[in-house]
Chain A
Amino acid sequence: MSDEAQMSVSRIELLSDRVNPIVVKEVRQALRGDAFFKSLWGVLMLSALACIVALTFVSSTNQVEQFGVGFFSTVYVCMCIALMALTPIGAFQSLAGEWDDDSFELLVASDLGPGQIIRGKLLSALVQGGLLGVAFLPMLAVALSLPGLDVLAAGSLILMLALGSSAATSLALGIASVARRRPVRILALGLLVALTLALAVSLIQFGAIVIVDPGELFDYDVLAALATLGSAAIFFAGYAVLVAQAQISHPEENKSSALRIWTVLAMVLGVAICGLVHLVGPTRSDVLEIAVPMVLVGVSPALFTFATESKRLPRRVEYELRSGRGGLSADLLMPGGARGLLLAWVLVPMLLLVASIFGVLSGDLGDLSPTFLIAVYLLTYLSLGSLFVRLVGGSRRTGKLRVGFVLMVIASMIIPSVIGSTLGSDSIASGHHVFNPFWVLSEYGGQDLDLFDLAGPLTVFLYMGLGLALLINLPGIFAAIRHRRRLRRQG
């Protein structure tokens, strides 16, 4: 090797020191192994073949002005399959492979933290996805040179594909991190394949609309939907990465604070989108229609997870608090079920306060009462979950209790239906009752729900449930806060 070559090698070595070690290893493995090149060549051959077929078809219809659209659509379908399916599945296999190959513990016992491991896996999957994407560049260039293609629409679709692929890859890592046993892993992989293919098909269908009529991109409804879906994708991707980190971290490390911060950020993001949508012009009820489902579908499972955490602070966290290195200043962000419940009780009314401000700004307060009732409804469910954990179990059984609570929620939907059926009420028998969150949500979304008129006694029951849960959990909350203060003083 010449001196110049040696110098460039050492420069590369030095540069590679700045990169996550897992990225270096996995890219090396990919470039050395067969699987990556087989995928690359397979996808390229397929897309080249598909392009020839598409061009032949378009030329046979004499629509020369649509050459660009036909060619790009074909390349885009192939890119969707490659980036939405192969990249996430590759990331899943990469993390799952650590358990299959018995190499996971060597990784954990090294100096790499859980964040570095998951970020490394994510980045290396994205780098490999990027390499697949780069391979399509010549074909994209050909598409752009052909007549009929709207560059902005094509660019937007590719951007969406990149975002979708990144989100799906993050989700794949989150799923892989919880599927350590082989049977679970096989099931999870099946689920992931189905999910990524469904996402790919959705993107292809959306692309087919936009590429034919680029004006659709600037439709208000489409923009609002894209903003909501985009922020939801970012939220779920971040959440999946944090869940994966928590899954592989040391049992005594803080698995909660990062997730809690992310949940708060997601809520702020949701509110910001609502504000944006509100500013653009539609009515306040549209804003609430977006905000409340976002809370129920997105944030409440996270809050439920926090509300059912073990109460005891992990020793590692206690140590960090004592030594003052924790940087965890707010009690609400600390691990522990009581603090989790407190976080829920603070965040949900805050969101509704923002919703009220929108109402005041728009001068339309008529629909706010059901909104507040929805909040009480949500908080009661979260509180009952925490109550259930407090009454039934210890810290080691929290995982089983979470499953138990989900079953309890399902039972609360089914049992009233059975009772309704016995009493001869067709409406209750078919799930039209306030214990069924899916019905409540759909009714609220459809603006057909007036809970005050519908179920006065049940409303009282909900308030009573919330009050009882508050009363029972308050000592726990104060004890948790006192415990943390004591640790700070010990430090």
Chain B
Amino acid sequence: MTAILEVERLTKTFDGLTAVDQISFEVGAGEICGFIGPNGAGKTTTMRICATLELPDEGDVRIGGHSVLEEPRYARHRTGFMPDHFGAYPSTTVEEYIDFFARAQGLRGAKRLSAVGDVTEFTGLSPLLGKAVSGLSKGMRQRLCLAKTLLHDPKLLILDEPASGLDPRARVELRELVVALAELGKAVLISSHILTELSEICTSVAVIELGRIKAHGNLKDIRARLSGAGRAFLRCMESPEQVERAMAELPGIQQLVREQGGVSFDYGGGDEILAGIVTRLVTGGLRPVEVRQESADLEDVFLELTEGQVQ
């Protein structure tokens, strides 16, 4: 996968406090990377550096191979940044607000009108074009900011706490929008405190604490690295009790739990080991009807990796 965002040994200090400490990670095209960490871990600082709003003391960020320090305008062209809080201009309608940012992104004439039409339709703001921005609900304001962020068709989206303060329906809708954007080939770096939501949409995560990256990569791989185990669910024609008894005799099986008419279990290793387990069970006379690798729980990973330290 082509890396759109490359963070290289980034360091930033504020009055002697190291907010970001030598962090490196990458986000590829079509990837949704969840950027998670406790409050004050350095998430927003990192995102602001990526969006050219902050200057690192050391290291660099490359967007599409171009440094945000050396070519900030190039980076801005290719990045859509949605901050955790933002202001809306008074005495401005939704249409005027989006039209202004379209002009600010250098879109002219028919291109501008078409971009405004596209993003308002994509974000569901079309019926609200004439409404004053000051009269929008929190969810609609988030949509408005997302619409503004998408105007110039950026390759990289940096979304800082986009779901904060949204009601459940608005969260679901925002999640769907983010997934749709990744499907369009955009790289998405998203931070949120709502880990269950992130785990449903993220293809990778970067866990940060005290300014340092604790883990980065596919959630399943991180879990495997942490416990050295994968987790799977197995359902057979036989009763769960029979399956549990048969599996208990096999080596390398841990945490056997009966659930949903089958059993969930941890196994030490990768796909080869799981295939070996299934083969032995079949040889032993069991008839599997469903074998499923379970995705790792983001909350568990987060709690295991972080110690809740703040600075």
User: Which residues of A approach B to under 8 Å, CB–CB?
Assistant: 13-14, 17, 21-22, 24-25, 28-29, 32-33, 98, 100-103, 105-113, 250-253, 315-316, 318-319
Contact = CB atoms under 8 A, between A and B. Distances in A.
B81 interface: yes
Interface of B: 51-53, 55, 67, 69-73, 76-77, 79, 81, 83, 85-92, 96, 100-101, 103-106, 108-109, 112-113, 145, 148, 152
Given A21-B104, A250-B72, A109 B55 contact: no
Given A21-B100, A101-B88, A111-B106, A106 B148 contact: yes
A343 B85 CA distance: 44
A111 B109 contact: no
Contacts of A14: 109
Contacts of A315: 67, 69-70
Given A17-B108, A250-B52, A113 B73 contact: yes
Given A110-B101, A251-B55, A316 B76 contact: no
B72 A25 contact: no
Contacts of A251: 55
A101 B89 contact: yes
Nearest to B158: A109
A103 B53 CA distance: 13
Nearest to A314: B69
Contacts of B85: 102
Contact of B53 (A13, A109, A253, A319): A109
Nearest to B83: A105
Contact of A253 (B72, B83, B101, B108): B72
A91 B114 CA distance: 32
Contact of B77 (A33, A111, A319): A111
Given A109-B52, A110-B104, A110-B105, A25 B77 contact: no
A121 to B, nearest CB: 13
Contacts, number: 94
Interchain residue pairs A-B with the least CB separation, the first 7: A101-B87, A21-B103, A319-B70, A102-B87, A33-B91, A103-B87, A110-B104
A17 B112 contact: yes
A325 to B, nearest CB: 10
A360 to B, nearest CB: 50
Given A13-B113, A105-B86, A316-B71, 18 more contacts: A17-B109, A17-B112, A21-B103, A28-B92, A33-B90, A101-B88, A102-B86, A103-B89, A106-B148, A110-B105, A111-B73, A111-B77, A111-B104, A111-B106, A113-B73, A250-B55, A319-B67, A319-B70
Contacts of B104: 21-22, 107, 110-112
Given A21-B100, A109-B51, A29 B90 contact: yes
Given A109-B52, A112-B104, A252-B55, A316 B69 contact: yes
B109 A13 contact: yes
A14 to B, nearest CB: 6
10 contacts: A25-B92, A103-B89, A105-B53, A106-B87, A108-B53, A109-B76, A110-B104, A111-B104, A111-B105, A250-B52
B91 A32 contact: yes
B112 A32 contact: no
A316 B67 CA distance: 10
Contacts of A109: 51-53, 76, 79, 81
Contact of A316 (B72, B81, B108): B72
Contacts of A111: 73, 76-77, 104-106, 152
Nearest to A21: B103
A441 B51 CA distance: 49
Nearest to A109: B81
A482 to B, nearest CB: 21
B96 A25 contact: yes
A316 B86 contact: no
Contact of B101 (A28, A106, A319): A106
Contacts of B106: 111
A24 B87 CA distance: 19
A113 B72 CA distance: 10
B70 A316 contact: yes
Contacts of A21: 100, 103-104
A11 to B, nearest CB: 11
B64 to A, nearest CB: 16
A24 B105 contact: no
Contacts of B88: 101, 103
A33 B224 CA distance: 59
Nearest to A14: B109
Contacts of A318: 70
Contacts of A33: 90-91
A103 B87 CA distance: 5
Contacts of B145: 106
Contacts of A253: 72
A29 B92 contact: yes
A250 B148 CA distance: 21
Contacts of B72: 250, 252-253, 316
Contacts of A103: 86-89
Nearest to A318: B70
Which one of B53, B67, B76, B104 has the greatest number of beta carbons of chain A within 10 Å?
A: B104
Nearest to B101: A110
Contacts of B53: 105, 108-109
A109 B79 CA distance: 9
A288 B86 CA distance: 54
B89 A29 contact: yes
Contacts of A24: 100, 103
A55 B145 CA distance: 55
A119 to B, nearest CB: 13
Contact of A252 (B69, B83, B113): B69
Contacts of B113: 13
Contacts of B52: 108-109, 250
Nearest to A319: B70
A76 B73 CA distance: 45
Contacts of B100: 21, 24-25
B103 A106 contact: no
A115 to B, nearest CB: 12
B114 to A, nearest CB: 12
Given A14-B109, A21-B100, A110 B76 contact: yes
Contacts of A100: 87
B246 to A, nearest CB: 59
A251 B12 CA distance: 14
A253 B73 CA distance: 11
A15 B132 CA distance: 25
B140 to A, nearest CB: 17
Contacts of A106: 83, 86-87, 101, 145, 148
A105 B145 CA distance: 12
Nearest to A20: B103
Contacts of B70: 252, 315-316, 318-319
Given A33-B90, A105-B83, A107-B104, A319 B71 contact: yes
A109 B81 CA distance: 7
A21 B91 CA distance: 16
A86 B309 CA distance: 51
A308 B187 CA distance: 42
A17 B106 CA distance: 9
